[in-house]
Amino acid sequence: MNPLLEEGMEMEEEQEERMELQQEDESDSEDGSDRESTADRDSINGEDEHLEKEIREHSDDEYSWEDFFENNESSSSFNQYWDGEDDRESPTPARTTLRELLTDQIHMLDFDEGQELFADAIIWNIDDDGYLHTDFGDLVRDFNLQHEHELSKEDAEEVLRRIQRLDPPGIAARNLRECLLVQLELMPNTSVERIIAMRILREAWNHFERKHFEKIRQDLHISEDLLKRAFELIRTLNPKPGEGDTLESTNYIIPDFFVTREDGEFVITLNERGVPPLRVNKAYRNMLLNQRRKLSSETKQFLRQKMESAKWFIQSIHQRRNTMYSVMSSIIERQREWFEHGKGHLKPMIYKDIADEIEMDISTISRVVNGKYVQTEWGVFELRYFFNEGISTESGEEVANMEVKAIIREIIEGENPRKPFSDQVLTKILTERGFNIARRTVAKYRESMDIPVSRLRKQLV
């Protein structure tokens, strides 16, 4: 949209070539070269004065054009990490999607035309986890209306049953229970634990969901050892048969910052690969400078507008880079102990702390932090990780809630799996350790870490 903006690599090569030619000229005729250089400088100075006058007369901008043209050469090298190459992703190998895999298998079944069309409708309604959560009756009715067909519900159930037994087994199940049962039915062995596992899912599903082991054992009249073996078999099943049908490129996190330690000091490097150096096109600049070239008022106005836009764009990129650097520097300064020693040393910190320190609006800090990652010697972390509220201890010390969550996780990992700690017990343990925290807060922190309630953490050991 702006012809005055260009990448700077070609211009830098041109400068290197010009320097080589100048060195050759100097070796041929030193005196002549000196006179020519003086004339060139006089000419450039005259052109710059003319351009400065033009812009002063036609622009009310606050910035200094003198500074811009003096610093224009350096603007092409603001990104020291740009290597001149296109930011191309590594090619990924061709792969078959889950829908393609299922479609290929359906073609090998002895479906008639109507059944095959309905099988295709089922496939396109499977979610990312491999489940068919669309109401099955509605799906059959919509299919019959759309294709003017008379597929009965019994025939539709048979099509679904056969799809669920394709690879991966359990695909297109309508719920977890159906998904697990299909996988058990397809197992080749006829072991006792397999039979008990199927009975558990069919006859004691409610108790299974709530992990009421004793009630399951009493209802099915089985021993604790057999119950444990059946549960272990169920644990080997895949609750999400559609999971993993994603492109490899979506699984990578590219850090926006790199923080390294050199001689006890932290060095921040911005990951700007893919952001090319920018500069104002010299040919258009010369059009404004050339006094002998008569330009129409429309052309001059166009060039001036694009010149102003180009300068604003380059300055915006510089400002963005400076803001990101300032925010990251402030985070390191406030969380220095964490960057030095790792987890367990995070301090309470909110957006306002950084905003006040670098004198920027809180909304600006929020935008800079959102979706940004930093690579440290302790791993890759989202910048949001370093922002958290504080919890007061008995000694009056403020501890980051992230550290409290880590303590809660540590307590739960060390609990007796037969008798997991309730939220009330967790609150009591934290209070004994000096943390003034309510049970509701403990429950909120536990849920934020995707840790289930105590009854669902119960295990047979």
pLDDT tens, position by position, 416-439 = 988 899 999 999 999 888 888 888
Q: What is the pLDDT of residue 81?
A: 46
* Chosen domain end from 204, 235, 266: 235
Checking 230-233 for CB contacts under 8 A at 24+ apart, the result is 230/193, 230/194, 230/196, 230/197, 230/200, 231/197, 231/200, 231/460, 232/193, 233/184, 233/193, 233/194, 233/197
When divided into structural domains, the chain yields a total of 2
Query: Could you tell me the pLDDT band of residue 248, with boundaries at 50, 70 and 90?
Result: very low
**Do residues 186 and 180 make contact, with C-beta atoms less than 8 angstroms apart?**
no
* Chosen domain end from 212, 235, 258: 235
349, β-bridge pairs: 388
Question: What sign results for the dihedral spanned by CA atoms 364, 365, 370, 374?
Answer: positive
Checking 152-159 for CB contacts under 8 A at 24+ apart, the result is 155/115, 156/118, 159/111, 159/115, 159/118, 159/119, 159/122
- Helix or strand (DSSP H, E) at 283: helix 282-289
**Do residues 205 and 177 make contact, with C-beta atoms less than 8 angstroms apart?**
yes
pTM of the predicted model, to two decimals?
0.55
| CATH code, domain with 440 | 1.10.10.60
Residue 348 lies in a domain: no
Query: Could you tell me the pLDDT band of residue 37, with boundaries at 50, 70 and 90?
Result: low
Q: What is the pLDDT of residue 78?
A: 44
Higher confidence at residue 31 or residue 172?
Answer: 172
Residue 70, pLDDT > 70, answer no
Q: Which of 47-51, 125-129, 306-310, 322-326 has the lowest mean pLDDT?
A: 47-51
Distance (Å, rounded) from C-alpha 454 to C-alpha 214?
A: 16
Q: Which of 32-46, 64-78, 240-254, 371-385 has the lowest mean pLDDT?
A: 64-78
Residue 401 lies in a domain: yes
Higher confidence at residue 309 or residue 78?
Answer: 309
Residue 139, pLDDT > 50, answer yes
Residue 107 lies in a domain: yes
Residue 172 lies in a domain: yes
Residue 71 lies in a domain: no
Q: Tell me, what DSSP letter sits at residue 142? A: H
Residue 8, pLDDT > 80, answer no
* Chosen domain end from 218, 235, 252: 235
77-83 mean pLDDT: 46
Residue 192's domain spans which residues?
99-235
Look over the chain and give the mean of its residue pLDDT values, rounded to a whole number.
82
267, β-bridge pairs: 260
Residue 102, pLDDT > 80, answer yes
The pLDDT > 70 percentage for the chain reads 77
Q: Which of 22-36, 134-148, 370-384 has the lowest mean pLDDT?
A: 22-36
Distance (Å, rounded) from C-alpha 160 to C-alpha 110?
A: 14
Residue 86, pLDDT > 80, answer no
Separation in Å, CA 60 to CA 65, 67, 241: 11, 16, 64
